[in-house]
Chain A
Amino acid sequence: MIRLQLPAHLRNLAGVNGEVSLRVDGAVSIDSVLDALEAQYPMLCGTIRDHVTHKRRPFVRFFACAEDWSHQPTDTPLPAAIVTGAEPLLIVGAIAGGK
């Protein structure tokens, strides 16, 4: 199972505590993880990426294994530690987003 950490506002919206566990079939990438997340928690659609273009929202970041994956193509395979569940994928609200 893929482990996913959401920012607090999105945990509240989805009604979850702590990490989310997701089953992802096939290649594990940002795209496939978000597909699985939105299928399980449809209220999160549009909050991380655009409904139609699937472009990442500007003030959302993706971190994996202590690296910023925000600017990687979203179909890039994620590291093995994410695929095995040894490490969580982090979805982070950027510091720049607040006002």
Chain B
Amino acid sequence: MSKVRVLVGTKKGAFVLNADGKRDKWEVNGPFFGGWEMYHVKGSPVDPNRLYASQSTSWFGQLIQRSNDGGKTWEPVENKFVYDGVPGTHQWYDGTPHPWEFKRVWHLEPSLTDAETVYAGVEDAALFRSTDGAKSWHEMSGLRKHGTGPHWTPGAGGMCLHTIILDPKDPKRMFIAISAAGAFRTDDGGETWKAINQGLVSEHIPDPKAEVGHCVHHVAMHGAKPDRLYMQKHWDVMRSDNAGDSWQEVSGNLPTDFGFVIDVHAHEPDTIYVVPIKSDSEHYPPDAKLRVYRSRSAGNEWEALGNGLPQSNCYVNVLRDAMSVDSLDKCGIYFGTTGGQVYMSPDAGDNWSPIVRDLPSVLSVEVQTLA
């Protein structure tokens, strides 16, 4: 029988949740690295027991941990992230040039074809790659130096590269997103990049349709339709049908189009999920009801899914990397909250129940479906 492993990063440690394919009884393991902020934990699609984890604190900086046994044991690997050449400057909050400074790793994306290769999205925004199982890291500086870099500015959470999407049909194509610069694509394995923000409209910047400066919160793609991208922007839910060359708004009937997460059903490329959040200052669900919204039409028409989720007095948030799906026949949907709950639905969102309720504030959720 298949198994499911859920990798949870929290503000005070990592947790590994295990269940069989029924997904009704869960074993909770952890905390691993208690007291450390675990921004992201993700497994290799090639070798599911190979996990990579980003571990940091304001005291002791950034560490990278690696597991070769599905999270039972871990070893620290290389934590040295040095920008390529002279780092240069980006734009600071007050409009002045500010030197690029490494702060932390937000996202780790293992290669689709090689367990030793993994990508890291960092703050201040840059993309790094390791081809030796995280024993060394090298910046893919074509992104930061492609031309608009000096105009990138940090969002409220810092200038972070938080989303990395690898195209399963084209190994040279990759998408990334940065707050608050926007989305970018390479078609040549990272040598050159282009901003893919046409169609985004952000009222909080001087030119709402600028080439860069958009606060993209998350981007998702289904491997069967890699030219179709879904985006949760600061405000607005967007879709591209041409690999990001242009975007159209698909917020439709959502109660609010602010939010952080967006994800795609494992077997239905047109079925997507968001968690609407009231506003950019009120980071909790509208009407104090925690509801996932599902669209089966690639956006525009949305239905609220709240069965089993708190429907009163709920003031949690769901952060950008805190939703994931499994690939069992009946697709499971998972998300974690800033209140420490990890919820799962075994039926594509129709019904929900908590796996755990009282973890530290959840930063990330990734799901592995194991044979």
Contacts and interface: CB of A to CB of B under 8 A. Distances in A.
A92 to B, nearest CB: 10
A97 B58 contact: yes
A57 B76 contact: no
B343 to A, nearest CB: 25
A47 B82 contact: no
A93 interface: yes
Given A9-B60, A13-B76, A51-B79, 13 more contacts: A9-B36, A43-B63, A46-B61, A46-B80, A47-B79, A51-B80, A57-B59, A57-B60, A59-B58, A60-B59, A60-B60, A97-B57, A97-B58
A51 B62 CA distance: 11
A98 B58 CA distance: 7
Interface string B70-88: 0000001001101000000
Contacts of B354: none
B57 A9 contact: yes
B35 interface: yes
14 contacts: A7-B59, A7-B60, A9-B57, A13-B63, A43-B63, A46-B62, A46-B80, A47-B60, A47-B61, A48-B60, A51-B82, A57-B59, A59-B58, A99-B58
Nearest to A96: B58
Interface string A1-25: 0000001011001000000000000
A48 B62 CA distance: 11
Contact of B80 (A13, A45, A58, A97): A45
| Chain A interface mostly | loop
A8 to B, nearest CB: 8
Nearest to A59: B59
Contacts of B36: 9
Contacts, number: 46
B61 A43 contact: no
Interface string A35-52: 000000001011110011
Interface of A: 7, 9-10, 13, 43, 45-48, 51-52, 57-60, 93-94, 97-99
Contacts of B62: 46
A82 B36 CA distance: 31
A7 B60 CA distance: 10
Across the A-B interface, the 7 shortest Cβ-Cβ residue pairs? A97-B59, A47-B60, A93-B59, A43-B76, A59-B59, A51-B80, A97-B58
A28 B62 CA distance: 28
Contacts of B61: 46-47, 57
Contacts of A98: 58-59
A9 B35 contact: yes
Interface string B38-78: 00000000000000000001111111000000000000100
A47 B36 CA distance: 13
A95 to B, nearest CB: 10
Contacts of A59: 58-59
A94 B79 contact: no
B181 to A, nearest CB: 25
B228 to A, nearest CB: 39
Nearest to B36: A9
A57 B57 CA distance: 11
Nearest to B81: A51
Contacts of A13: 60, 63, 76
Nearest to A57: B61
B80 A47 contact: no
Contacts of A46: 61-63, 79-80
A14 B50 CA distance: 22
A15 B238 CA distance: 47
